[in-house]
Amino acid sequence: MRELFSEQVLSNLAIVLVASLCTILVRFLPFVVFGRKGTPGRGVLYLGRVLPPAVMAILVVYCLKSTSFAAVSGFVPQLTAVAVVVLLHLWRRNTLLSIAGGTVLYMILLRVL
Amino acid sequence: MAEFRFALRQTVPVLCGYLFLGLAFGLLLQQAGYAWPWALLISGIVYAGSMQFVLVGMLGGGFASLLSVALTTLSVNSRHLFYGLSFLDTFKQMGRAEPYMIFSLTDETYSLLCGVEIPKTLKANRVRLWMSALDHGYWIIGSVAGAALGSVLPFDLTGIDFAMTALFVVIFLDQWRAAKSHLPAGIGLVFALIWLVILGPDRFLLPALVCTVLALTACRGKLEPSAMAAGAEPSAETDAAGQEEVR
Protein backbone atom coordinates (compact mmCIF):
# COMPACT_ATOMS: atom_id res chain seq x y z
CA MET A 1 0.00 0.00 0.00
CA ARG A 2 2.86 2.40 0.67
CA GLU A 3 3.57 2.32 -3.06
CA LEU A 4 0.06 3.44 -3.92
CA PHE A 5 1.10 7.07 -4.23
CA SER A 6 4.76 6.69 -5.02
CA GLU A 7 6.37 9.20 -7.35
CA GLN A 8 6.08 6.64 -10.14
CA VAL A 9 2.30 6.38 -9.68
CA LEU A 10 1.87 10.15 -9.38
CA SER A 11 3.90 10.82 -12.51
CA ASN A 12 1.89 8.21 -14.39
CA LEU A 13 -1.36 9.85 -13.21
CA ALA A 14 0.05 13.16 -14.46
CA ILE A 15 0.90 11.58 -17.83
CA VAL A 16 -2.63 10.19 -18.20
CA LEU A 17 -4.14 13.51 -17.14
CA VAL A 18 -2.02 15.47 -19.64
CA ALA A 19 -2.97 13.03 -22.43
CA SER A 20 -6.63 13.43 -21.44
CA LEU A 21 -6.52 17.24 -21.34
CA CYS A 22 -4.67 17.46 -24.67
CA THR A 23 -7.19 15.13 -26.30
CA ILE A 24 -10.06 17.21 -24.87
CA LEU A 25 -8.37 20.40 -26.05
CA VAL A 26 -8.05 19.07 -29.61
CA ARG A 27 -11.68 17.89 -29.72
CA PHE A 28 -13.11 21.11 -28.23
CA LEU A 29 -10.99 23.57 -30.18
CA PRO A 30 -13.14 23.74 -33.35
CA PHE A 31 -16.29 24.31 -31.26
CA VAL A 32 -14.61 27.05 -29.23
CA VAL A 33 -13.03 28.76 -32.25
CA PHE A 34 -15.82 28.52 -34.79
CA GLY A 35 -18.87 28.60 -32.54
CA ARG A 36 -22.27 28.39 -34.15
CA LYS A 37 -22.01 30.51 -37.27
CA GLY A 38 -18.26 30.66 -37.76
CA THR A 39 -16.43 29.18 -40.71
CA PRO A 40 -13.06 27.48 -40.37
CA GLY A 41 -10.10 29.12 -42.07
CA ARG A 42 -8.61 27.69 -45.22
CA GLY A 43 -5.42 26.76 -43.42
CA VAL A 44 -7.34 24.68 -40.88
CA LEU A 45 -9.20 22.73 -43.55
CA TYR A 46 -5.96 22.21 -45.46
CA LEU A 47 -4.12 20.71 -42.47
CA GLY A 48 -7.24 18.69 -41.62
CA ARG A 49 -7.00 16.98 -44.95
CA VAL A 50 -3.26 16.43 -45.36
CA LEU A 51 -2.18 15.69 -41.78
CA PRO A 52 -4.01 12.37 -41.11
CA PRO A 53 -2.28 10.24 -43.80
CA ALA A 54 1.11 11.72 -42.84
CA VAL A 55 0.54 11.03 -39.13
CA MET A 56 -0.59 7.47 -39.88
CA ALA A 57 2.57 6.84 -41.94
CA ILE A 58 4.67 8.05 -39.00
CA LEU A 59 2.71 5.86 -36.58
CA VAL A 60 3.26 2.77 -38.72
CA VAL A 61 7.02 3.46 -38.62
CA TYR A 62 6.69 4.08 -34.85
CA CYS A 63 5.17 0.62 -34.42
CA LEU A 64 7.94 -1.01 -36.45
CA LYS A 65 10.74 0.98 -34.82
CA SER A 66 12.29 -2.04 -33.07
CA THR A 67 12.79 -3.91 -36.33
CA SER A 68 16.33 -5.27 -36.59
CA PHE A 69 17.91 -6.91 -39.61
CA ALA A 70 20.57 -8.65 -37.54
CA ALA A 71 18.50 -11.83 -37.22
CA VAL A 72 15.59 -13.40 -39.12
CA SER A 73 13.33 -13.15 -36.04
CA GLY A 74 14.06 -9.41 -35.88
CA PHE A 75 12.24 -8.43 -39.04
CA VAL A 76 10.40 -11.36 -40.70
CA PRO A 77 7.42 -11.62 -38.28
CA GLN A 78 6.41 -7.94 -38.32
CA LEU A 79 7.14 -7.24 -41.99
CA THR A 80 5.33 -10.41 -43.14
CA ALA A 81 2.37 -9.61 -40.89
CA VAL A 82 2.20 -6.03 -42.20
CA ALA A 83 2.21 -7.37 -45.77
CA VAL A 84 -0.62 -9.76 -44.89
CA VAL A 85 -2.65 -6.94 -43.29
CA VAL A 86 -2.23 -4.90 -46.48
CA LEU A 87 -3.23 -7.81 -48.74
CA LEU A 88 -6.19 -8.80 -46.54
CA HIS A 89 -7.39 -5.21 -46.45
CA LEU A 90 -7.03 -4.65 -50.18
CA TRP A 91 -8.87 -7.94 -50.76
CA ARG A 92 -11.79 -7.78 -48.30
CA ARG A 93 -11.70 -4.22 -46.90
CA ASN A 94 -12.84 -5.65 -43.57
CA THR A 95 -11.01 -3.76 -40.81
CA LEU A 96 -11.52 -6.43 -38.16
CA LEU A 97 -10.48 -9.28 -40.45
CA SER A 98 -7.32 -7.43 -41.52
CA ILE A 99 -6.33 -6.64 -37.93
CA ALA A 100 -7.16 -10.09 -36.53
CA GLY A 101 -5.49 -11.94 -39.43
CA GLY A 102 -2.26 -9.94 -39.20
CA THR A 103 -2.09 -10.14 -35.41
CA VAL A 104 -2.64 -13.92 -35.28
CA LEU A 105 -0.02 -14.49 -37.99
CA TYR A 106 2.44 -12.24 -36.15
CA MET A 107 1.92 -14.13 -32.89
CA ILE A 108 2.46 -17.46 -34.68
CA LEU A 109 5.60 -16.26 -36.52
CA LEU A 110 7.07 -14.92 -33.26
CA ARG A 111 6.89 -18.41 -31.79
CA VAL A 112 7.99 -20.38 -34.86
CA LEU A 113 11.02 -18.30 -35.89
CA MET B 1 -36.07 2.91 -25.10
CA ALA B 2 -36.69 2.80 -28.86
CA GLU B 3 -33.86 5.28 -29.20
CA PHE B 4 -31.55 3.00 -27.20
CA ARG B 5 -32.44 -0.06 -29.29
CA PHE B 6 -31.87 1.85 -32.52
CA ALA B 7 -28.52 3.17 -31.26
CA LEU B 8 -27.52 -0.34 -30.15
CA ARG B 9 -28.18 -1.72 -33.66
CA GLN B 10 -26.25 1.12 -35.29
CA THR B 11 -23.21 0.63 -33.09
CA VAL B 12 -22.74 -3.15 -33.58
CA PRO B 13 -19.72 -2.74 -35.93
CA VAL B 14 -18.04 -0.48 -33.37
CA LEU B 15 -18.98 -2.98 -30.63
CA CYS B 16 -16.92 -5.66 -32.43
CA GLY B 17 -14.04 -3.32 -33.16
CA TYR B 18 -13.84 -1.65 -29.76
CA LEU B 19 -14.15 -4.86 -27.76
CA PHE B 20 -11.32 -6.42 -29.76
CA LEU B 21 -9.04 -3.37 -29.81
CA GLY B 22 -9.96 -2.47 -26.22
CA LEU B 23 -9.03 -6.01 -25.21
CA ALA B 24 -5.70 -5.67 -27.02
CA PHE B 25 -5.08 -2.34 -25.30
CA GLY B 26 -5.95 -3.77 -21.87
CA LEU B 27 -3.67 -6.77 -22.43
CA LEU B 28 -0.83 -4.53 -23.57
CA LEU B 29 -1.30 -2.33 -20.51
CA GLN B 30 -1.37 -5.36 -18.25
CA GLN B 31 1.79 -6.75 -19.86
CA ALA B 32 3.49 -3.40 -19.28
CA GLY B 33 2.71 -3.85 -15.58
CA TYR B 34 -0.46 -1.79 -15.11
CA ALA B 35 -3.58 -3.39 -13.63
CA TRP B 36 -7.18 -2.85 -14.78
CA PRO B 37 -7.87 0.37 -12.80
CA TRP B 38 -5.37 2.03 -15.16
CA ALA B 39 -7.33 0.71 -18.14
CA LEU B 40 -10.55 2.08 -16.62
CA LEU B 41 -8.94 5.47 -15.99
CA ILE B 42 -7.23 5.80 -19.37
CA SER B 43 -10.15 4.52 -21.47
CA GLY B 44 -12.53 6.63 -19.39
CA ILE B 45 -10.79 10.01 -19.59
CA VAL B 46 -8.38 9.80 -22.56
CA TYR B 47 -10.61 7.72 -24.85
CA ALA B 48 -8.45 7.98 -27.96
CA GLY B 49 -7.75 4.57 -29.48
CA SER B 50 -4.45 5.00 -31.28
CA MET B 51 -3.07 7.50 -28.77
CA GLN B 52 -3.76 5.11 -25.89
CA PHE B 53 -1.50 2.47 -27.47
CA VAL B 54 1.26 5.05 -27.82
CA LEU B 55 0.57 6.15 -24.24
CA VAL B 56 1.31 2.68 -22.84
CA GLY B 57 4.91 3.08 -24.00
CA MET B 58 5.10 6.53 -22.42
CA LEU B 59 3.92 5.48 -18.95
CA GLY B 60 6.83 5.29 -16.57
CA GLY B 61 8.60 8.18 -18.25
CA GLY B 62 8.31 10.33 -15.13
CA PHE B 63 7.38 14.01 -14.78
CA ALA B 64 10.18 14.95 -17.22
CA SER B 65 8.22 13.35 -20.07
CA LEU B 66 5.05 15.46 -19.63
CA LEU B 67 5.92 17.93 -22.40
CA SER B 68 6.70 15.07 -24.76
CA VAL B 69 3.38 13.40 -23.80
CA ALA B 70 1.49 16.65 -24.45
CA LEU B 71 3.11 17.28 -27.84
CA THR B 72 2.71 13.66 -28.93
CA THR B 73 -0.97 13.63 -27.87
CA LEU B 74 -1.65 16.89 -29.70
CA SER B 75 0.07 15.59 -32.84
CA VAL B 76 -1.38 12.08 -32.87
CA ASN B 77 -4.87 13.42 -32.12
CA SER B 78 -4.59 16.46 -34.37
CA ARG B 79 -6.95 14.83 -36.87
CA HIS B 80 -9.73 15.23 -34.27
CA LEU B 81 -9.50 19.00 -34.78
CA PHE B 82 -11.30 18.50 -38.04
CA TYR B 83 -13.97 16.01 -37.00
CA GLY B 84 -15.72 18.68 -34.93
CA LEU B 85 -16.11 20.86 -38.00
CA SER B 86 -18.80 18.47 -39.28
CA PHE B 87 -20.89 18.74 -36.10
CA LEU B 88 -20.69 22.39 -35.05
CA ASP B 89 -24.45 22.91 -35.36
CA THR B 90 -25.64 19.38 -34.62
CA PHE B 91 -23.94 19.23 -31.22
CA LYS B 92 -24.76 22.84 -30.34
CA GLN B 93 -28.48 22.08 -30.28
CA MET B 94 -27.96 19.07 -28.00
CA GLY B 95 -27.78 21.34 -24.94
CA ARG B 96 -26.26 19.79 -21.85
CA ALA B 97 -25.09 16.75 -23.82
CA GLU B 98 -22.89 18.89 -26.07
CA PRO B 99 -19.66 18.70 -24.01
CA TYR B 100 -19.91 14.91 -23.78
CA MET B 101 -20.63 14.59 -27.51
CA ILE B 102 -17.51 16.63 -28.27
CA PHE B 103 -15.39 14.74 -25.73
CA SER B 104 -16.41 11.33 -27.11
CA LEU B 105 -15.99 12.11 -30.81
CA THR B 106 -13.54 9.35 -31.78
CA ASP B 107 -12.77 8.21 -35.35
CA GLU B 108 -15.38 5.46 -35.18
CA THR B 109 -18.11 7.51 -33.48
CA TYR B 110 -17.48 10.27 -36.00
CA SER B 111 -18.01 7.94 -38.93
CA LEU B 112 -21.12 6.39 -37.32
CA LEU B 113 -22.69 9.80 -36.61
CA CYS B 114 -21.88 10.97 -40.13
CA GLY B 115 -23.55 7.95 -41.69
CA VAL B 116 -26.60 7.38 -39.48
CA GLU B 117 -30.10 8.02 -40.83
CA ILE B 118 -32.39 8.45 -37.84
CA PRO B 119 -36.12 7.69 -38.37
CA LYS B 120 -38.43 10.70 -37.86
CA THR B 121 -40.29 8.87 -35.08
CA LEU B 122 -37.24 8.84 -32.83
CA LYS B 123 -35.64 11.66 -30.85
CA ALA B 124 -32.54 12.28 -32.95
CA ASN B 125 -30.48 13.87 -30.18
CA ARG B 126 -31.18 11.02 -27.80
CA VAL B 127 -30.13 8.49 -30.46
CA ARG B 128 -26.86 10.36 -31.02
CA LEU B 129 -26.12 10.54 -27.31
CA TRP B 130 -26.79 6.81 -26.92
CA MET B 131 -24.54 5.99 -29.86
CA SER B 132 -21.65 8.01 -28.42
CA ALA B 133 -22.15 6.63 -24.91
CA LEU B 134 -22.44 3.01 -26.13
CA ASP B 135 -19.20 3.31 -28.12
CA HIS B 136 -17.45 4.75 -25.07
CA GLY B 137 -18.86 1.89 -22.97
CA TYR B 138 -17.66 -0.81 -25.40
CA TRP B 139 -14.17 0.67 -25.32
CA ILE B 140 -14.05 0.81 -21.51
CA ILE B 141 -15.44 -2.73 -21.11
CA GLY B 142 -13.00 -4.12 -23.69
CA SER B 143 -9.93 -2.51 -22.15
CA VAL B 144 -10.84 -3.32 -18.54
CA ALA B 145 -11.59 -6.93 -19.53
CA GLY B 146 -8.26 -7.14 -21.34
CA ALA B 147 -6.30 -5.80 -18.40
CA ALA B 148 -8.20 -7.95 -15.88
CA LEU B 149 -8.18 -11.18 -17.90
CA GLY B 150 -4.57 -10.71 -18.93
CA SER B 151 -3.47 -11.47 -15.38
CA VAL B 152 -5.42 -14.75 -15.17
CA LEU B 153 -5.20 -16.06 -18.73
CA PRO B 154 -3.01 -19.18 -18.78
CA PHE B 155 -1.55 -18.59 -22.26
CA ASP B 156 1.27 -16.42 -23.48
CA LEU B 157 -0.10 -13.36 -25.28
CA THR B 158 3.21 -11.94 -26.48
CA GLY B 159 2.66 -10.20 -29.79
CA ILE B 160 -0.98 -9.17 -29.19
CA ASP B 161 0.24 -5.56 -29.41
CA PHE B 162 0.63 -6.06 -33.14
CA ALA B 163 -3.08 -5.21 -33.27
CA MET B 164 -2.02 -1.56 -32.92
CA THR B 165 0.38 -1.79 -35.87
CA ALA B 166 -2.34 -3.50 -37.89
CA LEU B 167 -4.88 -0.81 -36.92
CA PHE B 168 -2.55 1.96 -38.11
CA VAL B 169 -1.78 0.09 -41.34
CA VAL B 170 -5.52 -0.32 -42.00
CA ILE B 171 -6.31 3.35 -41.29
CA PHE B 172 -3.30 4.32 -43.42
CA LEU B 173 -4.61 2.22 -46.34
CA ASP B 174 -8.11 3.70 -46.02
CA GLN B 175 -6.66 7.22 -46.05
CA TRP B 176 -4.31 6.36 -48.90
CA ARG B 177 -7.31 5.23 -50.95
CA ALA B 178 -9.28 8.40 -50.12
CA ALA B 179 -6.40 10.83 -50.72
CA LYS B 180 -6.09 12.66 -54.03
CA SER B 181 -2.37 13.20 -53.44
CA HIS B 182 -0.02 10.73 -51.79
CA LEU B 183 2.53 13.45 -51.07
CA PRO B 184 1.45 13.92 -47.39
CA ALA B 185 1.80 10.19 -46.67
CA GLY B 186 5.19 10.21 -48.42
CA ILE B 187 6.37 13.22 -46.42
CA GLY B 188 5.40 11.56 -43.14
CA LEU B 189 7.08 8.29 -44.11
CA VAL B 190 10.34 9.94 -45.22
CA PHE B 191 10.71 12.13 -42.11
CA ALA B 192 9.86 9.21 -39.82
CA LEU B 193 12.58 7.06 -41.42
CA ILE B 194 15.16 9.87 -41.52
CA TRP B 195 14.71 10.72 -37.81
CA LEU B 196 14.56 7.03 -36.88
CA VAL B 197 18.01 6.56 -38.43
CA ILE B 198 19.41 9.77 -36.88
CA LEU B 199 17.95 9.64 -33.35
CA GLY B 200 17.06 5.98 -32.91
CA PRO B 201 13.76 4.34 -31.89
CA ASP B 202 13.21 6.19 -28.60
CA ARG B 203 13.35 9.82 -29.71
CA PHE B 204 12.40 10.09 -33.37
CA LEU B 205 8.61 10.55 -33.08
CA LEU B 206 8.47 14.21 -32.09
CA PRO B 207 10.98 15.66 -34.60
CA ALA B 208 9.34 13.55 -37.32
CA LEU B 209 5.90 15.04 -36.49
CA VAL B 210 7.23 18.61 -36.29
CA CYS B 211 9.13 18.34 -39.60
CA THR B 212 6.07 16.80 -41.26
CA VAL B 213 3.77 19.65 -40.17
CA LEU B 214 6.36 22.21 -41.36
CA ALA B 215 6.83 20.43 -44.68
CA LEU B 216 3.07 20.13 -45.23
CA THR B 217 2.65 23.83 -44.50
CA ALA B 218 5.41 24.56 -47.01
CA CYS B 219 3.67 22.39 -49.62
CA ARG B 220 0.33 24.13 -49.15
CA GLY B 221 0.46 25.88 -52.52
CA LYS B 222 0.88 22.52 -54.24
CA LEU B 223 -1.82 20.64 -52.29
CA GLU B 224 -4.39 23.32 -51.45
CA PRO B 225 -6.99 23.09 -54.26
CA SER B 226 -8.05 19.49 -53.60
CA ALA B 227 -8.11 20.18 -49.86
CA MET B 228 -10.77 22.86 -50.17
CA ALA B 229 -13.13 20.75 -52.28
CA ALA B 230 -13.02 17.69 -50.02
CA GLY B 231 -13.10 19.60 -46.73
CA ALA B 232 -16.25 21.61 -47.30
CA GLU B 233 -18.70 18.95 -48.50
CA PRO B 234 -19.36 16.64 -45.53
CA SER B 235 -19.66 19.60 -43.17
CA ALA B 236 -22.38 21.28 -45.20
CA GLU B 237 -24.36 18.05 -45.60
CA THR B 238 -24.29 17.14 -41.93
CA ASP B 239 -25.25 20.62 -40.82
CA ALA B 240 -28.25 20.62 -43.12
CA ALA B 241 -29.33 17.19 -41.84
CA GLY B 242 -28.90 18.30 -38.24
CA GLN B 243 -31.02 21.41 -38.62
CA GLU B 244 -33.80 19.55 -40.42
CA GLU B 245 -34.32 17.31 -37.43
CA VAL B 246 -34.71 20.13 -34.96
CA ARG B 247 -37.47 21.81 -36.83
Predicted pLDDT at A49: 72
Query: In chain A, what residues touch B139 (CB-CB under 8 Å)?
Result: none
Q: For residues B188 and A96, give the distance between their C-alpha atoms in angstroms, rounded to a whole number.
A: 25
Burial bucket for residue A91 (CB in 10 Å: 0-12, 13-18, 19+): exposed
Stronger pLDDT, B230 or B167, i.e. the higher one: B167
Q: With 60 as the cut, is the pLDDT of residue B3 above it? A: yes
Round the average pLDDT of chain B to a whole number and report it. 84
Q: Tell me which residues of chain A, numbers 65 to 84, contact chain B at a CB-CB cutoff of 8 Å.
A: 65-66, 77-78, 81-82
* pLDDT average, residue stretch B85-99: 87
Q: Is it the case that residue B240 has pLDDT exceeding 50? A: no
Q: Do A56 and B185 touch (CB under 8 A)?
A: yes
Reported confidence tier of residue B15, pLDDT bands at 50, 70, 90: confident
pLDDT above 70 for B227? no
- Of A10 and B13, the structure prediction assigns the larger pLDDT to A10
pLDDT tens digits, one per residue of A48-106: 678 778 888 988 898 898 899 999 999 999 999 999 999 999 999 887 789 889 989 99
Residue A35: predicted pLDDT: 67
Long-range (24+ apart) CB contacts under 8 A made by B174-179 are B175/A52, B175/A53, B175/A56, B176/A53, B179/A53
Helical segments of chain A, H only: 7-34, 42-63, 76-92, 95-112
Q: What is the pLDDT of residue B231?
A: 44
- Is the pLDDT at B241 greater than 90? The verdict is no
- Name which of B15-24, B154-163, B196-205, B230-239 the model is least confident about: B230-239
Question: What's the DSSP call for residue B180?
Answer: S
Averaged pLDDT, B19-41: 91
B242: confidence class by pLDDT, cuts 50, 70, 90: very low
Q: Grade residue A3 by pLDDT with cuts at 50, 70 and 90.
A: low
Is residue B164's pLDDT more than 80? Answer: no
Helix then strand then coil, in percent of chain B rounded to 5, is 80, 0, 20
In this prediction, residue B232 carries a pLDDT of 42
The pLDDT tens digits of the residues spanning B44-84 come to 999 998 899 989 989 998 898 898 899 889 888 877 877 77
Cα distance between the two ends of chain B: 22
User: Using CA atoms, how far apart are residues B175 and A58, in angstroms rounded to an integer?
Assistant: 13
**A34 Cβ neighbours under 8 A, 6+ residues apart:** A40, B85, B88
> Which residues 76-135 in chain B show a CB within 8 A of chain A?
76-85, 88-89, 91-92, 98-99, 102-103, 105
Q: Which value does ipTM take for this structure? A: 0.80
B73/A46 Cβ within 8 A: no
* pLDDT band of B170, cuts 50, 70, 90: confident
User: Reduced to 3 states, what is the DSSP secondary structure of residue B60?
Assistant: coil
Predicted local distance difference test score (pLDDT) of residue B45: 97
**Whether pLDDT at B245 is above 50:** no
* CB count in 10 Å sphere of residue A19: 28
Buried b (16+ CB within 10 A) or exposed e, B84-116: bbbbbbbbeebeebbeebbbbbbbbbbebbeeb
pLDDT value of position A76:
95
CB of A91 less than 8 A from some CB of B: no
**B243 band by pLDDT with thresholds 50, 70 and 90:** very low
Nearest CB partner across the interface for A106, out of B73, B159, B181: B159
CB B164 within 8 A of CB A62: no
Mean pLDDT, residues B194-205? 88
pLDDT for the residue B238: 39
**Chain A, chain B: beta-carbon pairs less than 8 Å apart:** 263
Q: Is A102's CB within 8 Å of B182's CB?
A: no
pLDDT over 90 at A38, yes or no: no
Q: Is the pLDDT assigned to residue A13 strictly greater than 50?
A: yes
Domain definitions of chain B by residue range = 2-178, 179-247
Residue B40: predicted pLDDT: 97
| Choice between B12 and B74, residue whose per-residue pLDDT is larger | B74
| B229: pLDDT strictly greater than 50 | no
Q: Most distant CA pair in chain A: distance in Å?
A: 59
| Nearest chain B Cα distance for residue A64, angstroms | 8
Rounded to the nearest angstrom, the minimum Cα separation between B112 and chain A is 15
Average pLDDT estimate for B123-131 = 95
Mean pLDDT value across residues A19-46: 80
DSSP per residue over B23-41, as a string? Answer: HHHHHHHHHTT--HHHHHH
Closest chain B C-alpha to A74 CA, distance in angstroms: 13
